[in-house]
Chain A
Amino acid sequence: MNSRNLLLFGAVAGLYVLTGIGESWNLSLSILNVALLATIAALGVNMQWGYAGLFSTGVMGFTALGALSVVLITAQPNVENWQAGGSGIVLALVLGAASVAAAVVAWGLMPKGRLRALVVAAILIGGFFLFRAIFDPAVSAVEAVNPQFAGNLGGLGLPSLVAWPVGGLLAAAAAWAIGKTALGLRSDYLAIATLGIAEIIVAVIKNEDWLARGVKNVTQLPRPWPVPLEIELQKEPGFLDFVASWGWDPIFTSTILVKLLYAGLFLIVLCIIIWAFERALNSPWGRMMRAIRDNEVSAAAMGKDVTRRHLQVFILGSAVIGFAGAMAASMEGTLTPGSYQPLRFTFLIWVMVIVGGSGNNWGTVLGGLLIGWLYFAVEFLGPNAMAAVTSSLPDGWLKAHLVNSAEHMRLLTLGVILLIVLRFSPRGLIPEK
């Protein structure tokens, strides 16, 4: 941490303070919270790209898996839906997984040849039809029960803090499957495969109503442990006395307090992750990863298993992304699969890493908070700003078009920032040492 970096961090902090003074502290803290979550995901991406040079475009998918795990762990179970067909769905999923496993085992055991291909194909096709035969009726039964308010199996009703590591595990499992196939081949195959898996994960969450109500959204997910609901806080006598003694407005103070608690919680997670990542980076393992990134052939010649290390770092990074996705869903209290857009959940994170300084965790944090502020501040302030800019124009088609397109300006701006940084300062704001 030299003085230049401190200055950069100070400038970014200034942006948040200015937002707080100029607009409102609620807005500033909201932006800070989403930016902190995006920063944690960006640290995961930095591990994959900065440490190991892996280019994955599936951040959105792993985030969505994290969010899904929040629903599956913290939502209240819908007992009637479970009774209607829960066992059928579980059985079908187990059978589906078993047929894939059987196919893999058969592929390994049988000698190479046409017979093996036929047997494996037969196992998979038979498994698929068996799966559908059990799965379809069970799904219809589950979705038919109470579709306006539930129609899904619900979760386990456990606390949010349990759901976050589960989100990480779920993302890690998906990363294992995808990394196993796409790593060790050309580098851009991973990018294409992860782009695909992200789309598919979001499609599954959107369409499988029994799982998380699809586009009908699951709402009112519980808050994580220390964070109370604003309404309950406003009834708390101790809180009211405290607020009265300072002469503050109880409603305003409760919203600020809740946001501060979230910010504190996310900061703790962020600090733990940075600490662990810095330890990893400065350990023999970190040096090995950088050696592999800088020259795969020499690293392989030194006896390092490049593909295995890539798989390892890909899984670790994805787990962190899943963890961040779970925290985001807990904070929002809802799972809205329609809001998962690759721009917001994949490419924004990439811009954060590259602008901040790939390979440097502090750089990534700086980039995350800076780009996060730019992106989300525009989301909140953009339409107003555009309206102010165009206020002198006469009302009409052009003005309406410009005000509406403020949102798309973000895309363009992000792209231009990315290209400029890559061209003129490819090592980012805080370069790797």
Chain B
Amino acid sequence: MDILNALVAFLNFVFIPGLAYGAQLALGALGVTLIYGILRFSNFAHGDTMAFGTMVTILLTWAFQSVGIGLGPLPTALLALPFGIAATAAFVLGTDRVVYRFYRRQKATPTMVVIVSLGVMFVMNGIVRLIIGVDDQNFADGARFLVNPQEFRTATGLAEPLAIKTTQAVTVVTAVVVVAFLFWFLQKTRTGKSMRAFSDNEDLALLSGINPDRVVAVTWILAAGIATIAGVLYGLDKTFKPFTYFQLLLPIFAAAIVGGLGSPLGAITGGFVIAFSEVMLTNAWKKIVNHLLPQDMQVDSLLQLLSTDYKFAVSFTILIIVLLFMPTGLFKGKSL
């Protein structure tokens, strides 16, 4: 019986990775849900929007690194992030002008727009691969750890190390700031209020003199910003690879649907639900359980419920359960 060590192992292998991953998914799902709420379609290009923004940020990070500009212990990518957001917002506004606006004016069916977003996904995916290639790109720099596992062990005398990577801390802090900003924007500013009105009832909003073009443009800019931030945080924490970002589409959509499409609060909740389920089901519990069990009852097997190769099956299963039992999600989104 060693509750402290078990707790540290739990924090180290389950809670902290889950928290960081959950924050990344929540931001991704927020972007999807925002587009869904206001533009009324599921944006299949969202994963590749994240990849695009991250790519721009990576290229600028490399440029900054080569001339020696940095943020000390923090990753240089944070400095490049605003430029990445600006470039992505410009690109996304361009696709809206060239592609989506036509279908909006035509009042095309949501499925049609989804297929169109598939075409946009191809194009963005192709651009990203053309520019940066298909390989893993590591661009994290600065201090590696906020809490160093070796130092933690010597300081506390525990057998289990606790590691908090700088990128994990940055992820959580950034996510909190972004979410706070987004909610303040939607609740308090005039533009945010008009966005919510537009999402609730488009006709009524138009009747009361809200400019739809402005609402749509602000939505795209916000979505591009959140997508870029989510992509960069994910890339810093793990690694950047275009195909991985395409695959992130499934957990992100699952998160948005679990929370209820169109509900920002739901997207955040959904992100953490998906992330923690994934981490808990694919984690090998052997270490933690053995700390809790007496010496003579130690287990040998890994106690891993699901191999990490099947982590997508977790988001998929949760998605199916939600579709079966509460298709509108936890926060009563506008689905169905």
Contacts and interface: CB of A to CB of B under 8 A. Distances in A.
Interface of A: 53, 55, 57, 128, 181-182, 185-189, 191-193, 195-197, 199-200, 203-204, 206-207, 342-343, 347, 350, 354, 404-405, 408-416, 418-419, 422-423
Given A188-B111, A411-B122, A411-B126, A203 B310 contact: yes
Contacts of B116: 419, 422
9 contacts: A57-B118, A193-B320, A196-B254, A408-B129, A409-B130, A410-B126, A412-B123, A418-B119, A418-B122
B316 interface: yes
B129 A185 contact: no
Contacts, number: 130
Contacts of A342: 246
B326 to A, nearest CB: 11
Interface string B318-335: 011001100100000001
Contacts of B110: 186-188
B323 A189 contact: yes
B250 interface: yes
Contacts of A347: 118, 122
Listed from nearest, the 10 A-B pairs whose CB atoms lie closest are: A415-B122, A412-B126, A411-B126, A415-B123, A418-B119, A196-B316, A408-B129, A419-B119, A188-B42, A207-B309
Interface residues of B, number: 48
B240 interface: no
B247 interface: yes
Given A55-B111, A55-B114, A412-B127, 9 more contacts: A185-B335, A192-B250, A195-B250, A199-B250, A199-B316, A200-B316, A408-B130, A415-B124, A418-B118
A181 B323 contact: yes
Contacts of A128: 305
Nearest to A415: B122
B249 interface: yes
A193 B249 CA distance: 11
B125 interface: yes
B111 A53 contact: yes
Given A186-B335, A192-B42, A409 B320 contact: no
B53 to A, nearest CB: 18
Nearest to B253: A192
B307 to A, nearest CB: 7
B115 interface: yes
